[in-house]
C-alpha cells in the first residue's frame, strides 16, 4: 500500500470524499468518465479545499478566484467539490445524470451555484480563462484564474492559441493545471498524439512550468502557491493515474466509459473505505 | 458602414470604460484612432479567431462589454462553437462585428464571401442578428446594440443602400417605400437594389412596398406578416444563400402567421459557391440579386 504524502488532513480527506461521491454518482447515474474524475480528485480537492478564494454563500462574489473545468466530462467531481464546500446540498448530487437535472454529465453552470463555465467540448476553457485573467488585470483585481485541462484535450489547437495569448500578455494571474494521466479517449496519449516533451512545449511558449505528482497534496499546494508569484502564466503538469484510488480502474481506458455497477460498485466503494450497504 | 461602426464604437469607449475591442488582426488604418485614444480598451488577439472569441467571452463574463472584429466568415464560422457554447449559452455580452458581408470582398474569392453567416448565426439561441443597410444605420444600430447588450452579430457590408438618414429601431422592420401591389423584403446594403426596382415600377404605375429588415433576429414577424398579407406578392432579397437567411425567415414568419401569399420568390445565392470573382455589383448581377433580377421577379407576377 502506497503511503500518502504528508499533507494537511483536510484536503486529503476531501479528496477521499470526492472519490466516494463520484463513484456513487457514476454508479447511480449510469454515467461515464469515473476514471477521469478519480484522476483529478486530488487536484480538485486542493483547489477547493485550499487554494481557491470563493464564498459558498455568494457564488457571484466579485472578489472570487475563477475556476474553470475545461475537461468538462469530469464534471461530477466538481459538482461533488461544490457540494462539499456548501454551494448546494450534498443531496443534490443524487440527481446527477437524472431526467430533468441541471447536473449534466459535462459540467454546466445553469442552475448550479459555483460553476463559472459550462464546458464539454474540449479546448474551450483555457481561452475563456485567459479572457477572464485579462479582464481581471484590466480592472486591477488580484483574483486569480485556474483552469484544469486534460492531456488529450491538448490536441485541440484552440488551447495553443490561448497559450500564445496568455504568454504574450504575461498573464501571471492565470494558472493551467493539466491532469496528465497519459490515457485519452481510446488509447494512450503517447500512441495517439504524443505530447512529449510536454513541459518543454509550454516553456517554449513562455509559460512558467511545474511538473509534479498530481496526487501529492503538498506538491500541489506548493506549485499552486508559487503560480501566484509568477510574472507570467503558469502551467502545472500534474502526473496522475487515471482511475486513481480504485485499483481495478487505475490506468484502464475501459473506465473512461464504464459505469460501476453491482459488485464492481461495491468493490470500488470498499477500496474507498465504505461498505456497499452504507454507500 | 465600417467607418460609421468604428465611429460609434469609439464614442461608446469614451462613454463606457467596460468596452473591450478584441481584434482579429485586421482593420489596418481603420481602427488607428480607436487604438490611439483607447489603448486600454483594445487588444489584438492575432490571427486566432477561436481565441479572439474566447478572450472576448471570458472578459465579458468578468465585467467587460466585448466586441470582436474581423472580416467575412472569420469571426463567425471559424469560431462557431465558441459563439454557441461560450457566448450564447452563457449569455455573454459579446458583439461580433464582421466587415465584408456578402460579396463585399468579391475579388478575393470564395473564402471571403460571407454568404451563409445570417442563416448560421440566426440558428443560435440568444443571438441577435443585424445587417444595416446604410452607414447612418450602422452607427445607430451599433449604439442600440450596445444599449441592449450581447450576444449579437453585426454584419457590415461595403455597399450602401443610399437612403436618407431616418429613424431606425433595433428589432423593428422599416418601411422605405409604400405600395400594396407587392412587397420586397431586403437586408443589408443590397436594399438599394430593391428600392431602385420599386422606383422603376412606380414610374410604370405599380406600387411596390419595400421593407428594410435590418434586424434578422429577433425578426419583426408582425410587420412582415402585415405587409405580406396586404401585398400578396412577396420577394425577398439578400446577399446571402437563399437557404436559411432572410428569405427563409420571412417564409417561416408568413407560414407561422397563417398568411396566404399569392406568390413568394427568394432572391439570393441559389445554394452554391461562386467560383468566379468580381466586384460586389457585378456578382450581384451575375447571381441574380440586382435590381434587374428584382424587376424580373416582380414583372413575372404583377
Residues B239 and B122 occupy one common structural domain: no
Residue-level pLDDT at A228: 87
Decide if A161 and B40 are in contact by the 8 Å CB cutoff.
Answer: no
Decide if A165 and B63 are in contact by the 8 Å CB cutoff.
Answer: no
Q: What is the CATH number of the domain that holds B20?
A: 3.40.50.970
Q: A 188-217 residues with CB below 8 A of B?
A: none
B173-202 exposure pattern, b = at least 16 Cβ within 10 A, e = fewer: bbebbebebbbbbbbbbbbbbbbbbbebbe
Task: Give the residue among A165, A121, A160 at the shortest CA–CA distance from B24.
Answer: A165
Query: Residue B61: phi, psi to the nearest 5?
Result: -70, -10
What ipTM describes this predicted complex? 0.96
- Calpha distance B196→B161 (Å, rounded): 9
Query: Which residue's entry shows cell 440568444?
Result: B126
Residue-level pLDDT at A275: 85
Query: CA-nearest residue of chain A to B45?
Result: A165
A149 close to B (CB below 8 A): no
What are the pLDDT digits (tens) for A121-174? 999 999 999 999 999 999 999 999 999 999 999 999 999 999 999 999 999 999
Q: Bridge-partner residues for A212, per DSSP? A: A238
Beta pairing, strands A234-239 & B65-71: unpaired
Asked if B170 contacts B148 with a C-beta cutoff of 8 angstroms, the reply is yes
**Does residue B164 belong to any structural domain of this protein?**
no
- Calpha distance A240→A183 (Å, rounded): 10
Asked if B158 contacts B104 with a C-beta cutoff of 8 angstroms, the reply is yes
Task: Give the residue among A25, A24, A36 at the shortest CA–CA distance from A69.
Answer: A36
Residues of chain B found within 8 Å of residue A165, distances taken between Cβ atoms: 45-46, 48, 51, 55
How far is the alpha carbon of A27 from chain B, nearest alpha carbon, in Å?
A: 28
Residues B130 and B210 occupy one common structural domain: no
What lies within 8 Å, CB to CB, of B124 at 6+ separation is B83, B84, B88, B151
What are the pLDDT digits (tens) for A36-86? 999 999 999 999 999 999 999 999 999 999 999 999 999 999 999 999 999
- Calpha distance A101→B260 (Å, rounded): 42
Mapped onto helix, strand or coil, the DSSP state of residue A267 is helix
Residues of chain A found within 8 Å of residue B90, distances taken between Cβ atoms: 109, 117-118
Out of B51, B81, B85, the one facing A165 most closely (by C-beta) is B51
What lies within 8 Å, CB to CB, of B240 at 6+ separation is B102, B115, B116, B117, B118, B119, B187, B246, B268, B269
Decide if B58 and A136 are in contact by the 8 Å CB cutoff.
Answer: no
How far is the alpha carbon of B59 from chain A, nearest alpha carbon, in Å?
A: 5
Decide if A158 and B64 are in contact by the 8 Å CB cutoff.
Answer: no
pLDDT band for position A1 (50/70/90)? very low
Residue B47: count of CB within 10 angstroms of its CB: 13
What are the pLDDT digits (tens) for A219-274? 999 999 999 898 999 999 999 999 999 999 999 999 999 999 999 999 999 999 99
**Does residue B268 belong to any structural domain of this protein?**
yes
Q: What is the pTM of this model?
A: 0.96
Residues B70 and B130 occupy one common structural domain: yes
Final residue belonging to a domain, choices B156, B182, B201:
B156
Angle at B120 between CA B259 and CA B186, to 5 degrees: 50
Task: Give the residue among A253, A237, A145, A250 at the shortest CA–CA distance from A196.
Answer: A237
Residues B103 and B244 occupy one common structural domain: no
Residues B34 and B81 occupy one common structural domain: yes
- Calpha distance B57→B52 (Å, rounded): 9
Final residue belonging to a domain, choices B156, B190, B212:
B156
Residues B148 and B8 occupy one common structural domain: yes
How far is the alpha carbon of A95 from chain B, nearest alpha carbon, in Å?
A: 22
Q: What is the CATH number of the domain that holds B277?
A: 3.40.50.920
Residues B244 and B272 occupy one common structural domain: yes
Residue range(s) defining the domain that contains residue B34? 2-156
A255 close to B (CB below 8 A): no
- Of 3.40.710.10, 3.40.50.11890, 3.40.50.970, 3.40.50.1000, the CATH number of A9-278 is 3.40.50.970
A138 close to B (CB below 8 A): yes
Residues B129 and B264 occupy one common structural domain: no
**Does residue B29 belong to any structural domain of this protein?**
yes
Cβ pairs A/B, distance under 8 A: 92
- Side-chain-side CA neighbours of A264 within 13 Å: the count stands at 13
Residues B142 and B201 occupy one common structural domain: no
Give me the count of residues in chain B: 302
Mutate to test the interface with B, among A131, A134, A158, A174 (most CBs of B within 10 A): A131
Beta pairing, strands B208-212 & B182-186: parallel
Residues B201 and B150 occupy one common structural domain: no
Out of A119, A127, A139, the one facing B55 most closely (by C-beta) is A127
Average pLDDT taken over every residue of chain A: 94
Decide if B58 and A116 are in contact by the 8 Å CB cutoff.
Answer: no
Per-residue pLDDT for chain B (302 aa), expressed as one digit of tens each?
Answer: 999 999 999 999 999 999 999 999 998 899 999 999 999 999 999 999 999 999 999 999 999 999 999 999 999 999 999 999 999 999 999 999 999 999 999 999 999 999 999 999 999 999 999 999 999 999 999 999 999 998 999 999 999 999 999 999 999 999 999 999 999 999 999 999 999 999 999 999 999 999 999 999 999 999 999 999 999 999 999 999 999 999 999 999 999 999 999 999 999 999 999 999 999 999 999 999 999 999 999 999 99
Final residue belonging to a domain, choices B156, B182, B208:
B156
Residues B111 and B240 occupy one common structural domain: no
Task: Give the residue among B224, B233, B235 at the shortest CA–CA distance from B190.
Answer: B235
A60 close to B (CB below 8 A): no
Angle between helices A34-46 and A9-29 (to 10 degrees): 150
Residues B81 and B204 occupy one common structural domain: no
Number of domains in chain B: 2
Amino acid at each position: 500500500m502506497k503511503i500518502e504524502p504528508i499533507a494537511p488532513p483536510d484536503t486529503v480527506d476531501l479528496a477521499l470524499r470526492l472519490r466516494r461521491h463520484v463513484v456513487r454518482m457514476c454508479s447511480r447515474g449510469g454515467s461515464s468518465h469515473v476514471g477521469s474524475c478519480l484522476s483529478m480528485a486530488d487536484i480538485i480537492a486542493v483547489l477547493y479545499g485550499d487554494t481557491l478564494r470563493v464564498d459558498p454563500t455568494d457564488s457571484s462574489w466579485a472578489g472570487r478566484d475563477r475556476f474553470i473545468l475545461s475537461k468538462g466530462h469530469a464534471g461530477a467531481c466538481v459538482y461533488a467539490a461544490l457540494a462539499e464546500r456548501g454551494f448546494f446540498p450534498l443531496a443534490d448530487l443524487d440527481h446527477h445524470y437524472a431526467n430533468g437535472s441541471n447536473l449534466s454529465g459535462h459540467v454546466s453552470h445553469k442552475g448550479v451555484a459555483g460553476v463559472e463555465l459550462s464546458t464539454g467540448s474540449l479546448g474551450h476553457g483555457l481561452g475563456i480563462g485567459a479572457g477572464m485573467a485579462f479582464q481581471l488585470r484590466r480592472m486591477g483585481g488580484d483574483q486569480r484564474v485556474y483552469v484544469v485541462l486534460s492531456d488529450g484535450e491538448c490536441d485541440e489547437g484552440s488551447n495553443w492559441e490561448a497559450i500564445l495569448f496568455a504568454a504574450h500578455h504575461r498573464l501571471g494571474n492565470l494558472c493551467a493545471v493539466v491532469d496528465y494521466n497519459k490515457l485519452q479517449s481510446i488509447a494512450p496519449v503517447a500512441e495517439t498524439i504524443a505530447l512529449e516533451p510536454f513541459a518543454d512545449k509550454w516553456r517554449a511558449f513562455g509559460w512558467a512550468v511545474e511538473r509534479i505528482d498530481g496526487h501529492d497534496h503538498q506538491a500541489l499546494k506548493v506549485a499552486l502557491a508559487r503560480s501566484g508569484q509568477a510574472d507570467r502564466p503558469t502551467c502545472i503538469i500534474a502526473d496522475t493515474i487515471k482511475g486513481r484510488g480504485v485499483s481495478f480502474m487505475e490506468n484502464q481506458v475501459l473506465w473512461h466509459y464504464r459505469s460501476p455497477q453491482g459488485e464492481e460498485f461495491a468493490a470500488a466503494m470498499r477500496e474507498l473505505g465504505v461498505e456497499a450497504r452504507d454507500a | 458602414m465600417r467607418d460609421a461602426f468604428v465611429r460609434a464604437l469609439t464614442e461608446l469607449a469614451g462613454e463606457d470604460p467596460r468596452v473591450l475591442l478584441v481584434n482579429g488582426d485586421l482593420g489596418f488604418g481603420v481602427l488607428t484612432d480607436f487604438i490611439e485614444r483607447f489603448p486600454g480598451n483594445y487588444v489584438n488577439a492575432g490571427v486566432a479567431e477561436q481565441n479572439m472569441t474566447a478572450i472576448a467571452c471570458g472578459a465579458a463574463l468578468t465585467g467587460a462589454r466585448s466586441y470582436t472584429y474581423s472580416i467575412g466568415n472569420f469571426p463567425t464560422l471559424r469560431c462557431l462553437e465558441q459563439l454557441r457554447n461560450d457566448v450564447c449559452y452563457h449569455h455573454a455580452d459579446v458583439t461580433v462585428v464582421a466587415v465584408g458581408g456578402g460579396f463585399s470582398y468579391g475579388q478575393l474569392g470564395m473564402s471571403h464571401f460571407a454568404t451563409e453567416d445570417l442563416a448560421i448565426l440566426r440558428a443560435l439561441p440568444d443571438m441577435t442578428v443585424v445587417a444595416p443597410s446604410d452607414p447612418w444605420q450602422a452607427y445607430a444600430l451599433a449604439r442600440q446594440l450596445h444599449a441592449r447588450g450581447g450576444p449579437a452579430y453585426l454584419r457590415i457590408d461595403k455597399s450602401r443602400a443610399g437612403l436618407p438618414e431616418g429613424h431606425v429601431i433595433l428589432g423593428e422592420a422599416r418601411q422605405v417605400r409604400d405600395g400594396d401591389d407587392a412587397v420586397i423584403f431586403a437586408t443589408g446594403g443590397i436594399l438599394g437594389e430593391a428600392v431602385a426596382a420599386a422606383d422603376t415600377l412606380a414610374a410604370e404605375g405599380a406600387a411596390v412596398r419595400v421593407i428594410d429588415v435590418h434586424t434578422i433576429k429577433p425578426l419583426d414577424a408582425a410587420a412582415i406578416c402585415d405587409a405580406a398579407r396586404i401585398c400578396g406578392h412577396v420577394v425577398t432579397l439578400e446577399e446571402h444563400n437563399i437557404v436559411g437567411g432572410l428569405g427563409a425567415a420571412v417564409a417561416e414568419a408568413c407560414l407561422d402567421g397563417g398568411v396566404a401569399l399569392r406568390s413568394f420568390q427568394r432572391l439570393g445565392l441559389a445554394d452554391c459557391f461562386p467560383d468566379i470573382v468580381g466586384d460586389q455589383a457585378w456578382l450581384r448581377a451575375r447571381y441574380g440579386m440586382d435590381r434587374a433580377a428584382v424587376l424580373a421577379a416582380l414583372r413575372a407576377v404583377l
